[in-house]
Chain A
């Protein structure tokens, strides 16, 4: 029986409050008029230094106008044959462009953090389903941990859905340019995609997959607890079955989710690999968090039968999935870089030009560091080593989601400051609060009647 320690509870609440203040500050300080936006850009260029790379400031300051004009053109007119009335070169449209990008910033910050923690819960649920389907012998001892982490799925899904309703139905931001009827009316390319990129369909799709994932989580956990008290394997079999169908459902809906929420941020761009790439990021982060929570609970003496072999296995997954993520990152990047077709290459152009350090720096966190640290078999059994690699992986995958969202929404006007940190803190606080509250409600940390429990208890590698 775990009690949510007061210290941790207070810490999570403090995180949430500080986070809310940060998010609020982000919204208050974002400009509401074109004049304010211009002033902000000017202040940013001439004022305090630091931030993120010198080249960036210079661009924003001196060469700002021609650059942005060029981008606007590239974004809207890269299919030469499509005529649209918008004159991107005029000053007023450029300034509005700047304004909407600056207004996007707090929204994008929230989206990144909200999705980052949501994907951890979702990834943990997928890992959990795979453990059932593959009849894994070592992991049943960790089922309660995975179930608790996935408890964040429901609040996370609600927040995301509200976010998307505000974004689409209420047009409260400009994250998705296709949701702007003005843009839609003038963009020939986007009109071709109208059958897919329209607000009601977008909201229905999101509702379906969020509901599907949450429902699976609900029934899987229910059955898992019921199995504890059962006399036979009925609930185990039920969970096996629904896990198979969940994985099937997840695989298809995850693709749609990635297209809708992230590829849709840059609706002129497309990449077939994109959805699987997002999945790799999700999955490795989730396994990392499972390992971290397991280590924490073990240090509290709660996971009696969990030994360093279990940790070793989790660390192996962290290692392997980090490499897998890198493989997909490279596959997507290299193929687009190699062929250099303008329709696609623009995506990486912004990232390399304005997000160089983030875009390539994340490889250090996501690949190089975990690769070197987790290569050794002995190190994978040392808690603080795995913890270190885990922190690196989580930072790296936050950067990954950041570089997916920010360049498409805020563009070259990005920075990492109060709104971003505030969003991270708020969702981190909420995540800790929900997950550890769920752990506190867990009656037993051992899935008592799981048919593979004995194997898991005797597991040694």
Chain B
């Protein structure tokens, strides 16, 4: 037996007879090959959606925010729903790369790269909304505390919307640095394998002259650990601050102290669902079945089950406290009898079914190890989590303190168009990423190959290692 010991009951994380070289070849293959027809078709669709969304954004900014379906009662609807939804999706990436690193979860190795890419791309989508939902987006730079000629007029640091600016921009920068640091050894691998001079040049630039010496690796590990330690509180605080946008207010249904941890749990819940959606396809089209295995899917489903459970307990809590408070105003909040039977009953029940009922099926081992069901379930969860944010924002606003200002919201084609546009933009970025970046952290997978690879586990069991 080698110096390493791993309990025999742990399932292998790399299947097949993979060697170090196989890992390299498998990860490099999509980058070194050429895009096939399907890729171009999907890319074109995404691009068209993106361009359409861009058109809607330009139309909004040039005409005015009135082209959206907002009204005087409901001043936030699809814009902030989409913002929170995209930020939430981004959280799983950091969770996988940072929190699972702190918990020494080896299975994260095969999924962290794509999860982080997903974080970056979805935070980019989220970042659009705070700008474009402004009435005067060209004055957006006023949110920054920069010395100026208005007697140095500054921002008020009491607003959670300002905290959002700091939270999101910090989150994006730290995630980007964390992601890029991890990419260095993999870019170096692509650089060393490149045959065409152009590719060689590009990957040389991207890899920052990584040469993989012992000292480099030692510092690399330390930096990763420090960044993971910083990213974990960051990921919690970012979505906490997003939740403060609502919870600091005095709107019934919004003002609730459970929001910070509940939003974070919901973010991980939806983020993991999105990771599943992407990876179940990616493992097939990029031939990475040996690395993103059934066990990975199952583990992710377990995280979904856990965070879904946390979210469900928060729903129960919200529902209970709304009643317990004895306040009449709480009767129409997004988790109340009033919401379940009111004009937005369909949104209420969509939330309950998609976020509570359907994920419960994952308790069944057969279903959570089933690719098809995991894929369907993950999409349902993301729909449900979109509804959760929609319900929180729109239902709570629609029936506020004064009955004379009760109102309904219906989106216009511009609201919908911008949302579709961000989905298109996201996939444009993700599809480009999948063809140019090493989608699996091969350097990291190589560190677990001998402890958790199927072949080596078998050798250990037979006592031949």
Contacts and interface: CB of A to CB of B under 8 A. Distances in A.
Interface of A: 79, 135, 137, 189, 192-193, 196, 233, 248, 251-252, 255, 259, 270-276, 320, 323, 327-328, 331-332, 334-336, 338-339, 341, 343, 451-452, 454-455, 458
A328 B309 contact: no
A252 to B, nearest CB: 6
Interface in B292-346: 309-310, 313-314, 316-318, 320-321, 324-327
Contacts of A252: 313, 316
B236 A327 contact: yes
A343 B330 CA distance: 13
Given A192-B326, A323-B233, A327-B236, A251 B260 contact: no
Interface stretch (B5-13, B62-70, B189-197): B5-13
A408 B257 CA distance: 19
A228 B260 CA distance: 43
24 contacts: A189-B326, A251-B313, A255-B313, A259-B324, A270-B321, A271-B257, A271-B258, A272-B257, A273-B261, A276-B258, A331-B257, A331-B259, A331-B260, A335-B244, A335-B248, A335-B259, A336-B257, A339-B248, A341-B255, A343-B327, A451-B9, A454-B5, A455-B5, A455-B6
B250 A341 contact: yes
A137 B7 contact: yes
B259 to A, nearest CB: 7
B256 A272 contact: yes
Interface in B1-56: 5-10
A332 B257 contact: yes
B250 A193 contact: no
Contacts of A137: 7
Given A137-B7, A233-B9, A331-B257, A272 B317 contact: yes
A275 B324 CA distance: 14
Contact of B324 (A196, A233, A327, A455): A196
Interface of B: 5-10, 102, 233, 236-237, 240, 244, 247-250, 255-261, 309-310, 313-314, 316-318, 320-321, 324-327
Nearest to B158: A338
Nearest to B5: A458
A455 B318 CA distance: 42
A455 B7 contact: yes
Contacts of A275: 317
Given A272-B256, A320-B102, 10 more contacts: A192-B326, A248-B309, A251-B313, A271-B258, A327-B233, A327-B260, A328-B261, A335-B256, A339-B250, A455-B5
Contacts of A451: 7-9
Contacts of B309: 248, 251
A242 to B, nearest CB: 15
Nearest to B103: A134
A452 B5 CA distance: 10
Interface centre among B255, B314, B325 (most CB of A within 10 A): B325
Nearest to B246: A335
A192 B327 CA distance: 10
Contacts of B318: 272
Given A272-B258, A327-B236, A339-B250, A255 B317 contact: yes
A331 B233 CA distance: 14
Contacts of B320: 259
Contacts of A334: 248
B107 to A, nearest CB: 12
Nearest to A244: B363
B326 A273 contact: no
A328 to B, nearest CB: 7
B260 A273 contact: yes
A79 B237 CA distance: 34
Contacts of B317: 255, 272, 275
B261 A454 contact: no
A273 B257 contact: yes
5 nearest interchain CB pairs?
A272-B258, A273-B257, A331-B260, A192-B326, A273-B258
Contacts of A248: 309
Nearest to A275: B317
Which of B250, B314, B324 has the largest count of A CB atoms less than 10 A from its CB? B324
Contacts of B314: 272
Contact of B7 (A79, A192, A339, A454): A454
Contacts of B313: 251-252, 255
B255 A270 contact: no
Contacts of B237: 327
Contacts of B5: 454-455, 458
B7 A335 contact: no
Contacts of B324: 193, 196, 259, 270
Contacts of B102: 320
Nearest to B237: A327
Nearest to A313: B104
B357 to A, nearest CB: 16
B326 A338 contact: no
Contacts of A274: 257
A455 B5 CA distance: 6
A458 B3 CA distance: 9
Contacts of B8: 451
